[in-house]
Amino acid sequence: MNTKYSVILLKLGGGLLTDKNNPFSIREDIITSAVKQIVDANEKIILLHGGGSFGHPLAKKYSVSNGIDKSIPNQILGVAKTHHSMIKFNSYVIEQFLERNYPVLSIQTSSIFIKKSNTISLETLDVLETALDLKIMPILYGDIMLDKSGSFTILSGDEIILKLCESLKSYNISKVIFAMESDGLYKVDELESNNCKFLTECYSSELNNIILADLGQKIDVTGGIESKLTQIKKICELNIPVQLINGLTEGYIYKSLKNQRFNCTNILINE
C-alpha cells in the first residue's frame, strides 16, 4: 500500500513580512526570525507568502484584481510590474533560506495557475510534489493570474492554499497555518463594542455567527480578514484544521510547526 506523507501548509502574511505602508519595504528582522524557525523545525512544509508592500500597492494602482480595463493607462505594463515586484520579494525570501543551506524552490504561481471559465485552474502539481519528494521546500506567493478569456486578476496566497488543499494527491495536509500580525481572532458581543474576547478555539461553523473585532486594516486588494475567513471555512470543509498565529512573537512559528501549545486561534472541524 502506498502510504501518504504529511505536509504542513504555512502562509506568512505579506503584512507580517513587509511594511504595508511603505512600498517595497521588507521587515528584515521578522523574515530572519521566521526563516530561522522554519529551518529549525525542519518539517515537510509548503511555504507561501503574501504580497505586502511589494504586491498590493502596484496591484491597486493598476487595478489588476478587477481585470482588463482599457481606460487605465499602462495597465498591462502594470500587471507585468506587479508580477516582477513579487519575484523580487520572493527572491529575497528564497535567499534567506539558501544562506542557511536549506533547500527551497521558488514556484512561480502565475506559471501554474490560470483562470478559465471563471474558475481557478491549477495546471500542474508535478513540480510541487516532486520537490517535496526530493525534500526541497516549495515556496509560492500571491501573484498575478492570467485569465484565458483575455484578462487577468490577482491570486492571493489564501486562494492558493485552498486550491492546494483541494488538489494535492500524494500528500496529506496535516494542517494549515496562517502567520499574521495578531494572536488570532477576537470576537465582540455586538458591533461597535470595545469589549473583545480572544478566541483560542472556534468551530468552523461558528465563523458565520461571530462578530469579529475590527483591529484595523491596511490596503489589501485581496479582501483582508473577511476573504481569509471564507477560505478558512472551505479549508475546514475538507477536514483540514487551521491555526491562526502571531508571526511577530518569537518562537510561535516553530511551536506551531512542532504542534506545541501556545496562544493562538485554532479553527476546529465540526464533527
C-alpha to C-alpha distance for 128 and 47, rounded to whole angstroms = 11
Nearest distance from C-beta of residue 85 to ligand IP8, angstroms: 8
Joined together, the cell numbers standing for residue 205 give 461553523
Residues 114-143 touching ligand IP8, rule: CB under 6 A, are 142-143
Q: Which stretch binds ligand IP8 (CB under 6 A): 51-59, 68-76, 169-177, 188-196?
A: 51-59
Q: Cα dist. 38→127, 218, 258, 262 in Å?
A: 21, 26, 10, 17
Contact pattern from residue 214 through residue 233 relative to ligand IP8, giving x for each residue in contact according to CB under 6 A and a dash for the rest: -------xx-----------
- Strand 137-141 and strand 45-49: the pairing is parallel
204 lines the binding site for ligand IP8 (CB under 6 A)? no
Sole binder of ligand IP8 in the list 8, 9, 14, 163 (CB under 6 A): 14
Q: Which stretch binds ligand IP8 (CB under 6 A): 16-24, 39-47, 52-60, 204-212?
A: 52-60
Residue nearest to ligand IP8 (CB): 142
Q: Which residues contact 71 (CB under 8 A, 6 or more apart)?
A: none
**Type and span of the H or E element at 56:** helix 52-61
Joined together, the cell numbers standing for residue 93 give 525570501
**Which residues contact ligand IP8 by CB under 6 A?**
14, 50-51, 55-56, 59, 82, 86, 142-143, 154, 156-158, 221-222
